[in-house]
Amino acid sequence: MKSSVYFFLILFYVPFFSQEKVDIFFDFNKANPNSNSIQVLNEWIKQNPTAEVYKMEGYCDTVDSKMYNLKLAERRIHTVETILKLNKIKILEKLERIPFGEEFDFLLNQDENRKVSIFYQITSINSFSEKVKNAKVGEFLKLKGLNFYNMSDVILPDSRPILEELLQIMKDNPTLKIEIQGHICCKEIEVEDISIKRAKTVYNYLLSNGISESRISYKGFASTRPIYPLPEKNEEERVANRRVEILILEK
């Protein structure tokens, strides 16, 4: 498998036994993940080395017979499980492997039906400050949960703790220098410079709370650096593409 171009560290605290899910997609009649999902899986493995997988569900589209699709779903589960094991991800002994033929609430977009859902739990607390400490110059930190009103640079109220946490990290690490990078989804051409404005919102927050402008800068990349290629296939891909990241410049 190819290594992804960027290494993302997610800004969040993972509570004990936090239960999560990630979906891996396949092309028509294939048992190996498609190229986009290989990239997603590589990044997920890097971000979740302590994950414990307890259930995997395999799905197909509604083409072909029920029995054929059931067998294909089983093969997809087996493929993903093999990849996880090769990358030292823990698979619980009582792993549930649940293949679906055509007995599920399928979506109209067949691309979204061809998938394996990985259900996992995180059993340790990974503090963001520890990740900053271990991060290298040139690495990216994705601010998960930093959300804005639609087509706006105004941050949603429930995202304030993300900014407050980032501010404290900057105060606790006086030699840390970062570049704030804004990204959007969906559009090839950005008319209103939303990605720049959102990055500047984070910049202004840090600046107004005592962080020197010599330690922070910002850029907007519109949709020129998507995690998933445009146009996105579903809302999950659109959410992943519209993001704010921190690039570590100096420590």
**12 is a domain residue:** no
**pLDDT tens-digit map of 108-142:** 677 888 999 999 987 654 566 777 778 899 999 88
Cross-sheet strand order for the sheet of 177-183: 8-10, 140-142, 243-250, 177-183, 216-220
**pLDDT tens-digit map of 56-85:** 999 998 787 888 999 999 999 999 999 999
Give the per-residue pLDDT at 104. 61
How many other C-beta atoms are found inside a 10 Å radius of the C-beta of residue 124?
A: 10
- Backbone φ and ψ for 16, nearest 5 degrees, come out as -60, 130
Terminal-residue alpha carbon distance, the chain: 31
* Residues 145 and 243 occupy one common structural domain: yes
Preceding peptide of 99 cis, ω within 30°: no
**pLDDT tens-digit map of 191-233:** 679 999 999 999 999 999 999 999 999 999 999 999 889 988 8
**166 is a domain residue:** yes
**130 is a domain residue:** no
User: In the chain, how many domains are there?
Assistant: 2
* Residues 103 and 171 occupy one common structural domain: no
**pLDDT tens-digit map of 11-47:** 444 344 456 899 999 999 999 999 999 999 999 998 8
Among residues 122, 157, 179, the one where a domain terminates is 122
**185 is a domain residue:** yes
* Residues 151 and 115 occupy one common structural domain: no
- Amino acid occupying residue 174: P
* Residues 97 and 154 occupy one common structural domain: no
Decide if 211 contacts 172 (C-beta within 8 A): no
* Residues 86 and 161 occupy one common structural domain: no
Burial annotation 178-189 (CB, 10 A radius, 16+ → b, else e): bbbbbbbbeeee
* Residues 60 and 144 occupy one common structural domain: no
How many other C-beta atoms are found inside a 10 Å radius of the C-beta of residue 119?
A: 17
* Residues 44 and 75 occupy one common structural domain: yes
* Rounded CA separation 9/238 (Å): 19
Residue 106 has pLDDT above 90, yes or no: no
Bridge partners, residue 26, by sequence: 33
* Residues 151 and 216 occupy one common structural domain: yes
Decide if 180 contacts 219 (C-beta within 8 A): yes
Residues 6+ apart with CB under 8 A from 70: 60, 99, 100, 101
Give the per-residue pLDDT at 13. 41
**10 is a domain residue:** no
* Residues 107 and 31 occupy one common structural domain: yes
* Residues 149 and 65 occupy one common structural domain: no
CATH code at position 185: 3.30.1330.60
Task: Tell whether pTM > 0.85.
Answer: no
Closest CA to 26 of 57, 70, 68, 59: 59
Three-class DSSP category at 44: helix
**35 is a domain residue:** yes
* Residues 88 and 144 occupy one common structural domain: no
Expressed as residue numbers, the domain containing 224 is 137-250
**209 is a domain residue:** yes
The Cα angle at residue 204 between residues 137 and 148, in degrees rounded to 5: 90
Three-class DSSP category at 82: helix
Among residues 122, 153, 181, the one where a domain terminates is 122
State the DSSP string of 189-211: S-SS-HHHHHHHHHHHHHHHTT-
